[in-house]
């Protein structure tokens, strides 16, 4: 009888252990782990995922994240922001016409109605002219400058979009300055260059970003493009500066793989949505128009995510580089293709991906130190609804909770069992499989016991 009991108990213990294992994956199955020291006495703690953790996630919604206590138990947590916020839509001003500046020929005077503008020329301060209405005189010499009367714009601007004609395949450097009296000018540094490349789907850019937001209330904006023929700027539209500029965290991608003379590819290894990609080249005076493509897996076709021009131009000691390209896309594989068949080598390209930061709040149950874990394929969602935790804060905000900083991270391979059966724990299908296995195990034990009882009964009936 003791043998039968021990067999049944062993089966029940095995079932209990299997169910406990199926409740959730252990921390050593996550590819990235870092210790967290929760502030003393804190019951709710806030933590922000580092870029290294975001670059190991295997799910778009960051479901493969856990926080463990010292006993290895996963503690409850909730995302402060359930889904990453994309770039907010931009607000724009009305369109302002571009007023060309012109100079008079020696010995002539400006036409009636022209307004004098003082600028710095090759021979010091010079007088040029602008007509607020109508066309300049026929013999006036048009300059490589345009003036915009944007003085009624009271809100700060972060950029301007232009309506312009540009020469093909020639980047145009534009400088900006502002003035309240058309005599004293203050530089307004801008990033980027204007360009229009030929060919179907070729990149173009008619936007200039200010290095810092500027206010044009009661001021004029002047754009100059000295030494660039074939440029005509007809109008400008301001882009209002966001109240709070989007914050990004970034990480450098690894080495690119050459797949064609004009193409390089890389497997990012993560599913985290990429907010933007910052492409750059280490070589001075380099300019390469490129298309950026992505796909979910090898069986899917490549799809275009965006296009830009990668450049690094040195002009009079000033180095100008291209801004990041907004993507807002989840893509485990990236491909960069140079336009017009230009050769593109991996050594020419450096890339950083930018993520929207993610913060969570966890319950500091159990003893510390706690461990933040991220990166595991086919992991079931475990995060609570944000209201579940934030509802306990009363008048406090989640941003007021103490912030725990991750320590030195350990980037490890999944355990051997997880490699053989990736994503097994924590999935509904596996849970049902474990339950079914337990039922079969109990049925086998019951069948064995029944056979033993029948055999004992027959043996007893055959006695004297």
- Let me know if 216 is exposed, middle or buried by CB neighbors in 10 A (0-12, 13-18, 19+): buried
- DSSP annotation of 452: H
User: For the chain, what percent of residues have pLDDT higher than 90?
Assistant: 42
In the predicted structure, residue 112 carries a pLDDT above the cut 80: no
Task: Confirm if 279 and 91 have CB atoms less than 8 A apart.
Answer: no
Least confident among 13-27, 298-312, 421-435: 421-435
The DSSP result for 42-99, as a single string, is -SEEEEE--HHHHTT--STT--SEEEE-TTSPBPPEEESSSS---PPPPPEEEEEE-E
Give 108 or 305, the one with higher predicted confidence.
305
- Assign 400 a pLDDT band (cuts: 50, 70, 90): confident
Give 276 or 316, the one with higher predicted confidence.
276
Mean of the per-residue pLDDT values of the chain: 81
Highest mean pLDDT among 7-11, 186-190, 423-427, 428-432 belongs to 186-190
Q: What is the pLDDT of residue 166?
A: 93
Q: What is the pLDDT of residue 402?
A: 86
**Pick from 6, 23, 7, 8: nearest CA to 434:** 23
- Let me know if 283 is exposed, middle or buried by CB neighbors in 10 A (0-12, 13-18, 19+): exposed
- Can you name the residues that pair with 96 across neighbouring β-strands? 236
Domains of the chain by residue range: 24-84+369-425, 92-240, 249-355
**Pick from 163, 156, 154, 188: nearest CA to 96:** 163
Q: What is the pLDDT of residue 398?
A: 80
In the predicted structure, residue 444 carries a pLDDT above the cut 60: yes
Segment 179-184 shows an average pLDDT of: 89
Q: Does residue 115 sit in helix, strand or coil?
A: strand
In the predicted structure, residue 434 carries a pLDDT above the cut 60: no
Segment 244-250 shows an average pLDDT of: 82
Does the pTM of the predicted model rise above 0.75? no
Task: Confirm if 66 and 352 have CB atoms less than 8 A apart.
Answer: no
- Assign 2 a pLDDT band (cuts: 50, 70, 90): very low
For 334, the enclosing helix (H) or strand (E) is: strand 333-338
Segment 387-416 shows an average pLDDT of: 76
- Assign 105 a pLDDT band (cuts: 50, 70, 90): low
**Cα 228 to chain centroid, rounded:** 35
Task: Confirm if 275 and 328 have CB atoms less than 8 A apart.
Answer: yes
Q: What is the pLDDT of residues 79-103, one digit of tens each?
A: 986 445 556 678 899 999 998 888 8
Q: What is the pLDDT of residues 160-180, one digit of tens each?
A: 999 999 999 888 999 999 999
Segment 321-329 shows an average pLDDT of: 89
Q: Does residue 22 sit in helix, strand or coil?
A: helix
In the predicted structure, residue 270 carries a pLDDT above the cut 80: yes
- Assign 67 a pLDDT band (cuts: 50, 70, 90): very high
> Which long-range contacts does 189-196 make (Cβ < 8 Å, 24+ apart)?
191/320, 191/323, 192/322, 192/323, 193/309, 193/311, 193/313, 193/320, 194/162, 194/164, 194/166, 194/231, 195/166, 195/169, 195/170, 195/171, 195/289, 195/309, 196/166, 196/167, 196/168, 196/169
- Using only C-alpha atoms, the chain has a radius of gyration, in whole angstroms, of 33
**Do 92-240 and 249-355 have matching folds?**
yes
In the predicted structure, residue 253 carries a pLDDT above the cut 60: yes
**Pick from 460, 438, 406, 439: nearest CA to 21:** 438
What's the CATH class of domain 92-240? mainly beta
Segment 408-436 shows an average pLDDT of: 52
Exposure class string for 413-442: b at 16+ Cβ within 10 A, else e: ebeeebeeeebbbbeeebbeebeeebeebe
Determine the Cα–Cα distance for residues 359 and 363; give it in Å rounded to an integer: 14
**Pick from 158, 149, 207: nearest CA to 178:** 149
Q: What is the pLDDT of residues 282-319, one digit of tens each?
A: 988 888 899 999 998 888 999 999 999 998 988 777 78
Q: What is the pLDDT of residue 113?
A: 64
CATH of 249-355, one of 3.30.43.10, 3.40.50.720, 2.60.40.1180, 2.60.120.260: 2.60.120.260
Q: What is the pLDDT of residue 157?
A: 94
């Amino acid at each position: 009888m003791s043998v039968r009991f021990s067999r049944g108990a062993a089966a029940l213990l095995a079932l209990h252990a299997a169910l406990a294992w199926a409740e959730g994956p252990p921390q050593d199955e996550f590819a990235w782990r870092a210790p967290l020291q929760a502030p003393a006495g804190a019951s709710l703690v806030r933590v922000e995922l580092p870029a290294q953790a975001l670059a190991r996630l295997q799910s778009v919604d960051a479901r493969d994240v856990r926080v463990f206590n010292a006993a290895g138990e996963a503690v409850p947590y909730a995302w402060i922001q359930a889904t990453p916020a994309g770039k907010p839509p931009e607000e724009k001003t009305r369109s302002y016409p571009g007023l060309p500046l012109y100079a008079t020929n020696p010995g002539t005077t400006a036409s009636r109605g022209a307004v004098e503008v003082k600028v710095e020329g090759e021979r010091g301060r010079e007088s040029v002219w602008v007509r607020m209405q109508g066309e300049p005189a026929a013999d006036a010499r048009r300059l490589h400058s345009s003036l915009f009367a944007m003085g009624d714009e009271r809100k700060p601007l972060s950029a301007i979009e232009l309506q312009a004609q540009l020469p093909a395949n020639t980047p145009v450097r534009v400088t900006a300055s502002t003035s309240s009296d058309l005599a004293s000018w203050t530089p307004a540094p801008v990033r980027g260059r204007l360009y229009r490349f030929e060919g179907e789907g070729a990149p173009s850019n008619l936007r200039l970003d200010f290095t810092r937001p500027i206010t044009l209330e009661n001021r004029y904006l002047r754009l100059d493009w000295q030494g660039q023929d074939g440029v005509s700027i007809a109008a400008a539209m301001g882009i209002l500066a966001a109240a709070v500029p989007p914050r990004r965290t970034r990480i450098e991608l690894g080495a690119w793989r050459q797949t064609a003379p004009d193409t390089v590819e890389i497997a990012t290894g993560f599913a985290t949505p990429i907010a933007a990609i910052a492409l750059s080249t280490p070589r001075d005076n380099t300019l390469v128009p490129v298309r950026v493509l992505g796909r979910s897996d090898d069986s899917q076709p490549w799809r275009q995510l965006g296009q830009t021009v990668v450049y690094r131009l040195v002009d009079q000691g000033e180095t100008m580089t291209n801004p990041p390209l907004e993507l807002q896309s989840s893509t485990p594989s990236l491909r960069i293709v140079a336009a017009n068949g230009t050769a593109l080598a991996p050594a020419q390209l450096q890339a950083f991906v930018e993520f929207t930061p993610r913060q969570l709040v966890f319950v500091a149950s159990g003893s510390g130190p706690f461990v933040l874990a991220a990166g595991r394929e086919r992991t079931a969602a475990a995060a609570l609804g944000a209201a579940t935790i934030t509802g306990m804060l009363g008048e406090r905000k989640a941003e007021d909770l103490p912030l725990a900083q991750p320590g030195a991270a350990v980037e490890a391979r999944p355990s051997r069992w997880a490699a053989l059966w990736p994503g097994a724990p924590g999935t509904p299908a596996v849970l049902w499989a474990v339950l079914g296995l337990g039922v079969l195990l109990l049925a086998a034990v019951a069948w064995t016991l029944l056979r033993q009882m029948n055999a004992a009964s027959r043996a007893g009936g055959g006695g004297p």
